[in-house]
């Protein structure tokens, strides 16, 4: 186990009724081999046990008065203390060496601005028939990510770690986007250094794709990515935490 020393990692997690998932994420953070981190939960009026679970793991709570993922991240960014800032969705489970590999990557590469664990699929709630398809998707997604990281528009989302200096230069997330706000933001981060896909992994729930329908969901994400990249404005009817990104 690595001692609690070295650069601090600040993990930002937006939440809205994530009680079914947040425990798995926070447990995976507690089990990290690298221990110098803080957790900041930005919550929009959860009515389940999200905050109770977050407090159990020692997370700092920031309460959002308005809805929206970009707003939630912006509020948390004002509170961070870390040298590395992680933007992590609540429905992820990190392999135990993610933080260690993130710190090592930033230590070994002077011009690194962003690092992302390799994507894996969380199959716990997924019908057996869909599992091969989503495993194939994650393999293809990791290849696309690695290629995109060579260019100006890194296909980074859901679980990304950035240098605090690059975050400061890039500014805040765009409140005019409630879908693919991360793609637009990490394109700005990319101007201040390179991106790297790590061998350590993060498992992600594909609940939204399964609920909305796979084809419909990815058509929406693809269109949203194009709009986010070229117009920086896109509104879509998503879950409550992601809509109506007004000022707090």
Return the number of other C-beta atoms located less than 10 Å from residue 194's C-beta. 15
pTM of the model: 0.87
Distance CA 94, CA 201 (A): 6
pLDDT of the residue at 2: 46
> Which single residue is written with the structure tokens 């409140």?
175
Q: What pLDDT, in 10s, does the model give residues 89-104?
A: 999 999 999 999 999 9
**If we measure between CA atoms, which residue out of 148, 140, 84, 92 comes closest to residue 117?**
92
Q: What pLDDT, in 10s, does the model give residues 1-56?
A: 444 679 999 999 999 999 999 999 999 999 999 999 999 999 999 999 999 999 99
Q: What pLDDT, in 10s, does the model give residues 69-128?
A: 999 999 999 999 999 999 999 999 999 999 999 999 999 999 999 999 999 999 888 889
In the 8-state DSSP scheme, what is residue 100? Answer: H
pLDDT of the residue at 5: 79
Contact 134, 218 (CB under 8 A): no
pLDDT of the residue at 207: 72
**If we measure between CA atoms, which residue out of 211, 201, 203, 215 comes closest to residue 238?**
211
**If we measure between CA atoms, which residue out of 186, 180, 192, 174 comes closest to residue 112?**
192
Domains (ranges, CATH) in the chain?
Answer: 9-242 (3.90.550.10)
């Amino acid at each position: 186990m690595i001692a609690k020393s070295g650069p601090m990692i600040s993990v930002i997690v937006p939440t809205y009724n994530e009680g079914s998932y947040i425990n798995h994420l926070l447990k995976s953070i507690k089990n990290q081999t690298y221990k110098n981190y803080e957790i900041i939960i930005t919550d929009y009026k959860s009515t389940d046990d999200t905050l109770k679970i977050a407090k159990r793991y020692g997370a700092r709570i920031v309460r959002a008065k308005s809805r929206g993922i970009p707003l939630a991240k912006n509020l948390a960014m004002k509170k961070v203390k870390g040298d590395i800032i992680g933007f992590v969705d609540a429905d992820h489970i990190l392999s135990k060496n993610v933080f260690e590999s993130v710190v090592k990557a930033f230590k070994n590469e002077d011009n690194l601005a962003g690092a992302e664990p390799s994507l894996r699929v969380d199959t716990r709630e997924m019908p057996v028939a869909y599992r091969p398809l989503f495993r194939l998707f994650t393999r293809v997604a990791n290849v696309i990510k690695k290629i995109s990281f060579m260019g100006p528009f890194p296909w980074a989302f859901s679980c990304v770690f950035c240098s605090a200096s690059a975050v400061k230069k890039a500014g805040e997330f765009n409140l005019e986007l409630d879908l693919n706000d991360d793609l637009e933001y990490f394109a700005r981060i990319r101007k201040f250094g390179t991106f790297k896909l790590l061998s350590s992994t993060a498992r992600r729930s594909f609940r939204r794709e399964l609920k909305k329908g796979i084809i419909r969901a990815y058509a929406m994400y693809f269109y949203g990515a194009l709009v986010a990249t070229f117009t920086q404005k896109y509104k879509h009817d998503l879950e409550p935490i992601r809509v109506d990104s007004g000022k707090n």
